[in-house]
Structure 1
Amino acid sequence: MERDEGRRAELAANLQLVRERIARACEAAGRPSGSVTLTAVTKTYPASDVLLLAGLGVTDVGENRDQEAAAKAAEVRAAGANLRWHFVGRLQRNKVRSVIRYADVVESVDSERLVAVLARAAAERPVPLDVLIQVSIDGDAERGGVVEDDLWRVSDSVAGSDGLRLGGVMAVAPLGWDPDRAFAKLSVLAGRMAERYPGATTVSAGMSGDLEAAVRHGATHVRIGTSLLGMRNSLR
């Protein structure tokens, strides 16, 4: 119990700092403070941490490994916490049926083949699965994400699939890129997406090291792990 209280205090302090960073970034960008949603990326951390975050007001959590996420989501839901689960990692087609049982959003869709598998599996869901198209900012699809020439073909496929709902775009700033350069490019594509599909206005961009740049360029969701939960330990 003492350890739980200590961890709660640690998470509460970290969460306050992250929220203050988001609020300052919004103010600097001339945006309302509530226009950016914090997605807590809880990979490698236990369900107990997710439950503590839920108790502190966090509403959205992100995971990137199905085996870990499926068990964690089940434990958290059994404890009575109602959260919005985001799958943010590269999604193998053979994991789709498992992922859609707990995920509310899949942020890493990057091919028509994956869209087809998701659509078939999502037909079993009572509500549509929200989908974000992952964009490869530097055009290197080997690291995940669609190159710009494929963005509209994949997004059209999502929009035309029963059981899926096109939410917008997601991206990670490439290593070695200035975050402002990366997110400015994403902002242009996000604007074109919203013009083509007025409901697809989500822009998931920015992590612990570059959330300010992401907010400056229109991110609606930031994915925060280290600044919130601490440095990850694979043995944790």
Structure 2
Amino acid sequence: MQPDDARHRLESVRQEIARAAKTARRSPDAVTLIAVSKMHEADAIRPLITAGQRVFGENRVQEAAAKWPALREAAPGIELHLVGQLQSNKAEDAVALFDAIHSLDRSSLVTALAKAMDKADRRPSCFVQVDIGNEPQKGGCAIADLPALLGEARAAEIPVAGLMCVPPFGVEPAPYFALLAKLGRDHGLAGLSMGMSGDFDTAVTLGATHVRVGTALFGARA
């Protein structure tokens, strides 16, 4: 990706966020744009960093560990979010590498993350992933189990920033975003990680505080 292309793509996405925020009478500054760089090499990421993007998302701990230490060394101030599923045995690596984890979804992961955070004396903010469309294959905590999981996370002194969801593919996402926003209000959580390249504008109008955008910024993956 060329620098001018990166600037254009980033500006276009930011303008779309601003338009959606204005529609909802929200400030665009209340929305964090996470550039999802999974499966993209460092050479594809650097132009976006040069264009001013500082918050990035990765799906896998191992992939992030391979490319981000060098990228961060060259560009201070990068914030890194884990937006994919996390295995309990990778909790220690995730706590060391990421500033936020968007896929806390089960008791065993609460235990693993709490132990890793205590050991590292580092506490990345966490979003509890909710299985908003009742699709167990995607990961996420069942809506009925959310109160108990939040209780466990808080008791373990895990900093819970909010809730995350991935709506079912190919259907109107607005009802699912609205449901996540309601669950957030019910549980006193301000953070809502929802919305991707195809629907982030809808997510912003319904209260998203973090949108996870890959294709609109990087183009289609090979």
Normalised by the size of structure 2, how large is the TM-score? 0.95
Q: Name 1:146's counterpart in structure 2.
A: 141
Is 1:64 paired with 2:59? yes
Matched, 1:27 2:22: yes
* Residue number in structure 2 paired with 1:210: 199
SS in 1 for 2:86: coil
In structure 2, what is the equivalent of residue 3 of structure 1?
none
* Structure 1 partner of 2:105: 110
Maintained 8 Å contact 1:107/1:133? yes
Q: CA deviation at 1:122?
A: 1.0
Is 2:159 aligned against 1:175? no
Correspondence 1:12 to 2:12? no
Q: How many residues align?
A: 222
How far does the alpha carbon of each residue in 1:70-117 deviate from its partner, in whole angstroms, 9 at most, with x for none?
111212122243211110111111211221111011100100111100
Select the residue among 152, 160, 164 that pairs with 1:157. 152
Percentage of pairs with the same residue = 36
Alignment of 1:46 with 2:41, yes or no, is yes
**Is the Cα–Cα contact under 8 Å of residues 96 and 122 in structure 2 kept in the other structure?**
no
**How large is the RMSD of aligned CA atoms in angstroms?**
1.4
CA distance in 2, matches of 1:32, 1:132: 22
The separation in 1 between residues aligned to 2:147 and 2:50, in whole angstroms, is 39
Q: What residue ranges of structure 1 are gaps of 5+ in the alignment?
A: 1-5, 195-199
Who is 1:193 aligned against?
Answer: 187
What is the rounded CA distance, in whole Å, between the counterparts of 2:54 and 2:145 in structure 1? 32
Residues in 2 aligned to 1:147 and 1:160: alpha-carbon distance in whole angstroms: 20
- What are structure 2's unaligned runs of at least 5 residues? none
Q: TM-score, normalised by structure 1?
A: 0.89
| SS of aligned partner of 1:123 | helix
